[in-house]
Amino acid sequence: MTAPDNVFENLRLELRRGCLTLAVLAQLRQEHYGYTLRKALAERGLEIDESTLYPLLRRLETQGLLASEWREEDKRNKRFYHLSSDGERIFGQLLGEWRAINASIDNIL
C-alpha cells in the first residue's frame, strides 16, 4: 500500500468509526443478536467485520447505551441486544448531530 493509500485508508476508517456506532444504535431499536445484526446491516448496505462489530456491542453495553440478555433460540443460547433508555436518548442526540453535519457538508459542497 502506498503512502497516499495508507492516508486514505486511515481517514476512511476514522470516518466510518463514528458512523458504524450510529448505524448499530439505529439498528438496535429492534432486538438482535450479533450475527443477525450483522446481516441486517449488510442487507442495508453496511458491511461490518465480525471482529469489529462484536467487540463494539460489548463496548456500547459497557457505556450503558445497550442492554442485553442471554436467551435460547433455535436450540442455541444467544446474547440479544437492544437499545437501553440512555441509549435511545443519546442515539437521538447523535442522530441530530449527524444530520446537522450532513446538511453542512451538503451546503459546503
Partner 1 sequence: MELLDRYLQAVKKHLPWKRQDDIIAELRANLEAQLEDKESALGRPLTQGETEDWLRQIGPPIRVAARYQPQQFLIGPALFPTYWFVLRLAFMWSMIIYAIVSALQIATQTPNGAAVLVAVLRAPGLLMTVAAWVTLIFAIIEFAAAHYPEKCPEIAGVTADWSPGTLPPLEKEEAGGKKPRSFAHAVAEEIFGFLFLIWLLLVPHYPNLLLYLLLGPGVFYLPVTPFQLAPVWVAFYWSVVALNVLQLVWRSVDLARGAWQKSRRLQHIVMSAFGLIPLGLLATVRDQVFVTLKHPALDQARYGATVDSINKSIHLSALILCAIAVLSLAWEIGQMSVDAYRKRVAAVR
Residues 22 and 95: their CA atoms lie apart, in Å, by 7
By the rule CB under 8 A, 33 interacts with partner 1: yes
> Which x/- pattern, by CB under 8 A, does the window 47-86 give for partner 1?
--xxxx-xx--x-----------------xxxx-------
Burial class of residue 37 (count of CB atoms within 10 Å of its CB; 0-12, 13-18, 19+): buried
Q: Is 104 helix (H, G, I), strand (E, B) or coil?
A: helix
Closest distance of CB 34 from partner 1, Å: 4
Asked if 60 and 18 count as a contact pair (C-beta separation under 8 A), the reply is no
Q: Which is closer to partner 1, CB of 44 or CB of 99? A: 44
By the rule CB under 8 A, 16 interacts with partner 1: no
Asked if 19 and 48 count as a contact pair (C-beta separation under 8 A), the reply is no
Give the binding range for partner 1 (CB under 8 A) out of 10-18, 46-54, 91-99, 101-109: 46-54
Closest distance of CB 109 from partner 1, Å: 31
Hunting for cell 444530520 — which residue is that?
99
| Interacting residues with partner 1 (CB under 8 A) | 33-36, 38-39, 49-52, 54-55, 58, 76-79
